[in-house]
Amino acid sequence: MNVLLLTDDMNPGGVARHVVDLANGLADRGVESIVAATDGPFRVRLHKEIPFINLSLFIPNSERKSLFGFLSAYRILKKVIHSENVSFIHTHKRYTDALGRFLARRTSLPHISTCHSTFTSLRFASVFGDFTIACSKAMEEMLIKDFGKNPKAIKQIYSGISPFREYGKNEKVQVLEDLHIPNTERIVASVGQLIASKDRATLIRAIGILKKRDAINNILFAILGEGEQKMKLEELVFKEEIENHVIFLHGMSNVEALFNVAEFGVLSSVQEGLSYILIEAASIGKPHIASDVGGVSEFIIHGNTGILVPPSDPEHLANAIQSLLEKPETAKRLGRNAREKYLQQFSFDRFINQTLEVYKPHL
């Protein structure tokens, strides 16, 4: 039995991370899978024994998908399905949801899809599997209300992770040296792709507000990620005159290391499922200030496991950041509570076990 795990790409991001973690977790349980996507840096995280099929789904030197890539992938994967005795297809993004649906209909295979985010764009072009896993309750509600999915054909499963490792004092000093950050600086982290839905512009404007208040004299905001908005965001940093308070870290930088030296994180998204980074940071007791969108409030309980703010509101975000900077004990309390929530609801074993329950009819 083989599961075909199909997604758009292996570039840094929550969906690629989810697919890699799922494939590795299945392998550890003796379940074989094949991963297919356009190649990217996250591919190296796959266990070496897991087959990988490199698809060319994008227009060269572009982030746009191509019709030729769709047709080429269909031909490649149809052969793989027959030669590797694939039992069912599990897709993870809207473009590859459509590709998986096309393949499933022509090979008479079951099709499972996972919905990773709430969205409003291109709803008319969105398709899902015969059965859909929703990564949050907000996504489950969206699938039923907006897409008319049968509730019996949906299961809500939170993504789970293995916890980050907590660094010792000397390791933290080394992290700061590696990042060329003076140990007198206090760090606030922001991790995620530099794309419109993550709305880093609101965070940068909030930092600008804090500078005008003279509230961030020894504070450094570390923004980790890659994406098409990077140049625009760098320009905004200079416009706000906060270049001494912001550093951009490459998307493949060590997130675990960053959160070991950060006091808390900021997630300023306008569209979100239930971000991995909230759970990862919480696993070592680091809380987030986050926009109240999508499934975020299913992890962040305002004032208990983190702070919720309205999306696209730099003033409100600035106030929340300043509050935690002025009250570090509050940040520590929120972090302890967030870690407890992670342990109770977002463990890796629970995630794999619940996914296997969905797979069971096809195993």
The answer, yes or no, to whether residue 125 has pLDDT greater than 70, is no
Q: How confident is the model at residue 122 (pLDDT cuts 50, 70, 90)?
A: low
Q: What percent of the chain has pLDDT over 90?
A: 85
Contact present, 65 and 93 (Cβ < 8 Å): no
Domain positions in the chain:
2-160+347-362, 169-345
In this predicted structure, what is the pLDDT of residue 186? 97
The answer, yes or no, to whether residue 121 has pLDDT greater than 90, is no
The answer, yes or no, to whether residue 1 has pLDDT greater than 70, is no
Q: How confident is the model at residue 124 (pLDDT cuts 50, 70, 90)?
A: low
Q: How confident is the model at residue 70 (pLDDT cuts 50, 70, 90)?
A: very high
The answer, yes or no, to whether residue 62 has pLDDT greater than 90, is no
Sequence-distant (6+) residues with CB within 8 A of 171 are 260
Q: What percent of the chain has pLDDT over 70?
A: 98
CATH T-level fold of 169-345: Rossmann fold (3.40.50)
Coil vs helix vs strand at 223? strand
In this predicted structure, what is the pLDDT of residue 59? 86
CATH number of the structural domain 2-160+347-362: 3.40.50.2000
Q: What's the angle, vertex CA 339, arms to CA 333 and CA 341, rounded to 5?
A: 105
- C-beta neighbour count of 152 within 10 angstroms: 7
In this predicted structure, what is the pLDDT of residue 117? 87
In this predicted structure, what is the pLDDT of residue 91? 98
Burial (Cβ within 10 Å: 0-12, 13-18, ≥19) of residue 316 = middle
Query: In this structure, what are the phi and psi dihedrals at residue 156, rounded to the nearest 5 degrees?
Result: -90, 120
pLDDT tens, residue by residue, 199-250:
999 999 999 999 999 999 999 999 999 999 999 999 999 999 999 999 999 9
Q: What average pLDDT score do residues 88-104 get?
A: 95
The answer, yes or no, to whether residue 106 has pLDDT greater than 70, is yes
Q: What average pLDDT score do residues 10-30 get?
A: 93
Q: How confident is the model at residue 308 (pLDDT cuts 50, 70, 90)?
A: very high
Q: Do domains 2-160+347-362 and 169-345 have the same CATH topology?
A: yes
Mean pLDDT of the residues in the chain: 94
DSSP 46-115: S-TTS-EEE---B-TTSSSB-HHHHHHHHHHHHHHHHHTTEEEEEE-SHHHHHHHHHHHHHHT--EEEEE
In this predicted structure, what is the pLDDT of residue 67? 82
What is d(CA 235, CA 161) in angstroms, rounded to the nearest whole number?
35
Q: How confident is the model at residue 252 (pLDDT cuts 50, 70, 90)?
A: confident
Q: How confident is the model at residue 65 (pLDDT cuts 50, 70, 90)?
A: confident
What is d(CA 203, CA 192) in angstroms, rounded to the nearest whole number?
12
CA-based end-to-end distance of the chain: 7
Q: What average pLDDT score do residues 183-207 get?
A: 95
What is d(CA 175, CA 164) in angstroms, rounded to the nearest whole number?
15
Contact present, 278 and 267 (Cβ < 8 Å): yes
Q: What average pLDDT score do residues 56-71 get?
A: 86
Query: In this structure, what are the phi and psi dihedrals at residue 339, rounded to the nearest 5 degrees?
Result: -65, -40
